[in-house]
Structure 1
Amino acid sequence: MFIGRERELNSLNSLYDSGKFEFVVLYGRRRVGKTELINHFIAQKSAIYFMGVESNAKQNLENFSKSIIEYASGITAETTFASFQVALETVFKLSEKERIILAIDEYPYIARASKSLASTLQLLIDKYKDSSKMMLILCGSSMSYMEDHVLSYKAPLYGRRTAQIKLLPFDFEETCCYFKKYSATDKALAYGIIGGTPQYILQINDKLSIEDNIKNTYLNPSSSLYEEPTNLLKQEVREPAIYTAIITAIATGASRMSEISNKVGEDTNVCSTYLKNLLSLGIIKKETPYGEKASKKSIYSIEDNMFRFWYRFVPENTSLIARGATDLVYKRIEPQLSTYMGKVFEEICKQYLWKLLLTDNSPVFFSSLGRWWGSDPIRKCQAEIDIMGEEDKNTALFAECKWTNEKVDVGVLETLIQRSELFSYSKKHYYLFSKNGFTKGCLERAKEQSNIYCVTHSEIIKKLG
């Protein structure tokens, strides 16, 4: 079942329809669905698909040769072409007569084994780009390799690409397409525990309860997800132990550089390097208070929900899980789920606000959304606003998100209004988001002003899910 990716498919089809030489760089984290996207795109089209393997140049050349021969059976070659240059030039010559897609998947595996491959591609692209009808797709899961050796200014292929697509995990709206049988609450919980990576989403069975899915995936040593985070890190980085320690520190509450450094037991300069790599992998994110470009108040959090859930609950329960104490571990996790879901719900609410903007239903035409935190000099305390979005110096929105079983009371609204007074916007719009609705007093207070919006999670699902 192929779901989503309409924007990426439209981009690829538009490039294909140009009829001229196109060179697309497609990259993204492992399991995000790059190969599935390519296969869906090239179906019913003239295409040569070749996936690199983590082997030597000889093996990859043999496999590439077979892919070419399979496509053009008229070419005479015993088992393999003499070199990658000969093989590639053969395809380029074929593409002078017809539209051909050449999709090279897991390009980093091939390029690492054949050091001259990038320069060879550069040479052939420059030679044939004006006469070729080829659509070349280079795809890779190694984010650092694709960015440093394909996309960067110093890379041989720099300036040759006509498009690049960084494939990201699904958002909440797309993820919900996989969970048709779940209630509004369970859809959010599923997104919170598994995130939007397609390969992980497929591990969730919406015919089973959230509890059973957690037990079957995260609390089952034989499941494919049980060791996935550590295995993925081993594939992407050289020192997975330190990365694991850093992610665990963040997952269990450390958010500032000094806190992470203390928990891990490494110097802040050392941690900084590892954090940058985790940022580039899309596993963590760095936030500053909304409206502040650079700040000592910057904090780190885990971007990927699967990583966030795994590192929050699995490592501390490893011994119990290994002994088969699944029910006991879940009993330890369950009381913490509501708190865990707080940040997930904030992200869902952000996506709802973006949807309003993109469908021309937002009262504020913001260009970004973010969280704000800082000191309240009036009340002499620290304050936080879940979501802020600015249109201009005069107009902004402020939002509070509550994932609790209790209905949101008027006090939450009044606090949000008070905190907005720390900013000098003349036009302010307020959003309250609630898992389980609002008290009568809160709704009555909201009706007094046309700039206050109360939105339940069920209403978000109607818009997004």
Structure 2
Amino acid sequence: MPASAGFLHPEPFFDREDELRALERAWSHPSQGGQMALVYGRRRLGKTYLLQRFVAGENMPKPACYYLAEQTTAPTQRLLLATQLLESLGGTSLAPSDLAVSWQALLHYVCEQWKRRERFILILDEFPYLAEQSPDLPSILQAWWDREGAHSTVMVILSGSHLSMMKALGEPNSPLFGRFNAGILQITPFRYHQTALFYASSPLYGVVEKLTMYGVLGGTPRYHALVDTSQPMEDEIINLLLRPGSPLRYEVEYLLGTQQIRDPASYNAVLGVIASGETQYGRIQQLSGTGNSLSFYLRTLTELGWIREEMPFAEDSRRRLLYRVADPFLAFWYRFIAPHKSLLEFSDPVFVYETRMRPYLPVYMGQIFEQICLQWLQTYCPNRFHVHILQASRYWSRDGRTEIDIVADLSDGRRLFAECKWNLGRPAGADVLMDLKAKVQTVPHLLQHKRAVYAIFAIGGFSPELYATAQSVPDEVWLIDQTSLLPNTSIASASTTAIYPNT
């Protein structure tokens, strides 16, 4: 019996249904030919978890061989894979050393041994480690695939975390270009409503706590899985990030190392400057000391998904481009952990949190809340308001006098203007709507004869006056409170006492 009979069936399994469905479709495809898939994404996002779930199946495991490559020599890698294949496929008296003479021999053995109609899955995880030691491996795979694999019932999955190397496998100049008939799946970070699932059963984590944990840990599932939801939120932030030996205290150094970044000092400097609030190219260059090399560092960080470029809505001049840290975990780490690393070595972490972090969290979460509100529009707008978001971004005028948190084009031709208020325990009043309308009037070119929709996101709810105004013009004013931000979650929260009804 294939070794996959002993595969784990990971639980809980959150929100990778689309990716799992794509793999299941390829595995059960009625064609007789082979299937090849490319699966990649940053570390800790759940690639291996997804592949485990795929192989384990709902009721019965699929025949498979899972090989996790190590950073070792090519002969050792082949020997380890040979051992895995012999355990999974059997049917031969060969010793692993006999089979491991070449990559060609290993791949041929798979097709030679597997003759059933049901597909056999070969997963090569951390494939970049193999390609580093055997640069010709993609070409070897291509030749084997065209000669044998494509005509077999084998499904090959190449998985890895080195983003640039994995992306390159699917590009036109790669030997494997056009071979990924099972799809190219990029595993991306969770959005805020997906990370909230980790806290669904805890009475200590209401909406505010769930959103705050997204602001602290970002969209990486592994980080949220580390949280002990039987403990209060602030205790867990201290336990995971501040105490000596805590699981995430040195995570950024690990991430820099796993992407094989040379000169991590410069990347650290750039990320630290951007996280501190300096978002213009010139200021980043000046404060990071990176000189003419800054463009290279920014491009690399953007490709990794660690920073993002931001342009004002409806602008196309790159002279107005800003840079922001894209991952909330990195933003939190460089904003609160990195500047206090020395202090944390010799001080009580509770003291550091209470004096250097907690007082500044509301301002920090105000920035994260804008990202959350944009995600809400993209995720829930179709069901709630029966329109789709076509494009959206922040807007700021050239003179710096007008800033609008979100401007978006709706699929029905209207234009949305949104204000995002992280106003704990303080309901948003009618003045918030009046101020938003006044700001829009100062930038008439954004209206362009379009009908305007005004949206107010407020974590602290709304005053009765603003609620009444919205009810009188429901097509013009949208109010989104805690109930709507996480519609499948109880609004009970240790941090908020006043909640007003939503529209």
TM class by shorter chain equals over 0.9
Task: Quote the Cα distance in structure 2 between the aligned partners of 1:314 and 1:200.
Answer: 16
Task: Quote the Cα distance in structure 2 between the aligned partners of 1:362 and 1:259.
Answer: 41
Aligned residue number for residue 252 of structure 2: 229
Tell me if 1:320 matches 2:336: no
Task: Quote the Cα distance in structure 1 between the aligned partners of 2:233 and 2:240.
Answer: 11
Task: Quote the Cα distance in structure 2 between the aligned partners of 1:26 and 1:440.
Answer: 50
Aligned residue number for residue 493 of structure 2: none
Tell me if 1:67 matches 2:84: yes
2:428 to 408, 416, 425: 408
Task: Quote the Cα distance in structure 2 between the aligned partners of 1:201 and 1:368.
Answer: 30
Map 1:53-132 onto structure 2 (within 5 A).
53-80=70-97, 81=99, 82-98=101-117, 99-132=119-152
1:29 to 37, 42, 47: 42
Map 1:302-341 onto structure 2 (within 5 A).
302-331=325-354, 332-341=356-365
Asked whether the equivalents of residues 364 and 396 of structure 1 are also in contact (C-alpha less than 8 Å), the reply is no
Report deviation, 1:63: 0.6
Task: Quote the Cα distance in structure 1 between the aligned partners of 2:368 and 2:243.
Answer: 24
Q: Does the residue aligned with 1:36 lie in a helix, a strand or coil? A: helix
Aligned residue number for residue 263 of structure 2: 239
Report deviation, 1:367: 1.7
2:159 to 134, 139, 148: 139
Question: If the length of structure 2 is used for normalisation, what is the TM-score?
Answer: 0.87
Task: Quote the Cα distance in structure 2 between the aligned partners of 1:157 and 1:146.
Answer: 11
Report deviation, 1:130: 4.5
2:239 to 181, 193, 216: 216
Report deviation, 1:93: 3.0
Task: Quote the Cα distance in structure 2 between the aligned partners of 1:394 and 1:157.
Answer: 42
Structure 1, 314-323 or 366-375: larger mean CA deviation = 366-375
Task: Quote the Cα distance in structure 2 between the aligned partners of 1:337 and 1:192.
Answer: 9
Report deviation, 1:414: 1.3
Task: Quote the Cα distance in structure 2 between the aligned partners of 1:179 and 1:293.
Answer: 40
Cα shift readout 1:438-460 (whole Å, capped 9, x = no counterpart):
12332233334231011112331
Task: Quote the Cα distance in structure 2 between the aligned partners of 1:425 and 1:415.
Answer: 20
Map 1:153-302 onto structure 2 (within 5 A).
153-162=172-181, 163-180=183-200, 181=202, 182-236=205-259, 237-267=261-291, 269-302=292-325
Report deviation, 1:105: 0.3
2:29 alignment partner AA:
S
Task: Quote the Cα distance in structure 2 between the aligned partners of 1:55 and 1:4.
Answer: 34
1:401 alignment partner AA:
C
Aligned residue number for residue 408 of structure 2: 389
Asked whether the equivalents of residues 395 and 425 of structure 1 are also in contact (C-alpha less than 8 Å), the reply is no
Distance 1:130 1:112, change over 3 A: closer
Asked whether the equivalents of residues 266 and 290 of structure 2 are also in contact (C-alpha less than 8 Å), the reply is no
Aligned residue number for residue 352 of structure 1: 376
Distance 1:218 1:7, change over 3 A: same
Asked whether the equivalents of residues 52 and 106 of structure 1 are also in contact (C-alpha less than 8 Å), the reply is yes
2:25 alignment partner AA:
S
Report deviation, 1:101: 0.8
Question: If the length of structure 1 is used for normalisation, what is the TM-score?
Answer: 0.94
1:459 alignment partner AA:
S
Asked whether the equivalents of residues 364 and 395 of structure 1 are also in contact (C-alpha less than 8 Å), the reply is no
Distance 1:49 1:294, change over 3 A: farther
Task: Quote the Cα distance in structure 2 between the aligned partners of 1:357 and 1:227.
Answer: 38
Aligned residue number for residue 431 of structure 1: 455
Report deviation, 1:463: 5.0
Task: Quote the Cα distance in structure 1 between the aligned partners of 2:376 and 2:172.
Answer: 37
Tell me if 1:8 matches 2:19: yes
Tell me if 1:459 matches 2:478: no
What is the CA RMSD across the aligned residues, in angstroms?
A: 1.8
What are structure 2's unaligned runs of at least 5 residues? 1-10, 491-503
Give aligned pairs, total: 458
Q: Does the residue aligned with 1:216 lie in a helix, a strand or coil? A: helix
Asked whether the equivalents of residues 312 and 320 of structure 2 are also in contact (C-alpha less than 8 Å), the reply is yes
Task: Quote the Cα distance in structure 1 between the aligned partners of 2:395 and 2:449.
Answer: 15
Q: Does the residue aligned with 2:159 lie in a helix, a strand or coil? A: strand
Task: Quote the Cα distance in structure 1 between the aligned partners of 2:380 and 2:254.
Answer: 38
2:139 alignment partner AA:
S
Task: Quote the Cα distance in structure 2 between the aligned partners of 1:373 and 1:17.
Answer: 50
Distance 1:115 1:130, change over 3 A: closer
Asked whether the equivalents of residues 382 and 388 of structure 2 are also in contact (C-alpha less than 8 Å), the reply is no
Report deviation, 1:50: 0.8
Asked whether the equivalents of residues 353 and 362 of structure 1 are also in contact (C-alpha less than 8 Å), the reply is no
Aligned residue number for residue 494 of structure 2: none
